[in-house]
């Protein structure tokens, strides 16, 4: 038992150090809209911006672990398309934007899952 004591101590220490990493709360992931800039857009564009926001939030909330590779590729293509539309509405200033934490988490999930 005394031979294994340093090894057991090292494993216990490593396990205790790893627990806070997994227990740390993930940052909130949500899509935000600048309401002042949104009010300056025409009514049709305002409605489309709100549709994009709802769809982006749905994509963020999607459980990607249960999807196969083809479905994940479709999600990525839809995500890229929505980001392209976001750029169109954000030309004269930020109307739609994703929090930095959400962007980082989405990128990490895509890297891990693929």
Alpha carbon separation from 98 to 10, 16, 85 (Å, rounded): 41, 34, 13
Higher per-residue confidence, 50 vs 25:
50
Instruction: Give 57-73 pLDDT, tens digit per residue.
Output: 888 888 888 888 999 99
Distance CA 40, CA 12 (A): 58
pLDDT of residue 93: 62
Higher per-residue confidence, 48 vs 33:
48
Across residues 8-33, what is the average pLDDT?
60
Mean pLDDT of the chain: 76
Structural domain spans, the chain: 26-113
What stretches of the chain show up as alpha helix (H) in DSSP? 5-23, 35-40, 43-61, 69-89, 100-113
């Amino acid at each position: 038992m005394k031979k294994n004591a340093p090894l057991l101590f090292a494993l216990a220490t490593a396990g205790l150090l790893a627990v806070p990493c997994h227990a740390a709360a993930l940052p909130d992931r949500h899509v935000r809209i600048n309401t002042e800039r949104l009010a300056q857009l025409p009514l049709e564009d305002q409605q489309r911006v709100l549709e994009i926001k709802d769809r982006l939030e749905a994509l963020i909330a999607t459980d990607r672990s249960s999807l196969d590779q083809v479905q994940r590729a479709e999600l990525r293509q839809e995500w890229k398309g929505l980001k392209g539309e976001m750029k169109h509405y954000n030309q004269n200033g930020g109307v739609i934007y994703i929090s930095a934490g959400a962007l980082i988490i989405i990128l990490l999930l895509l890297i891990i899952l693929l």
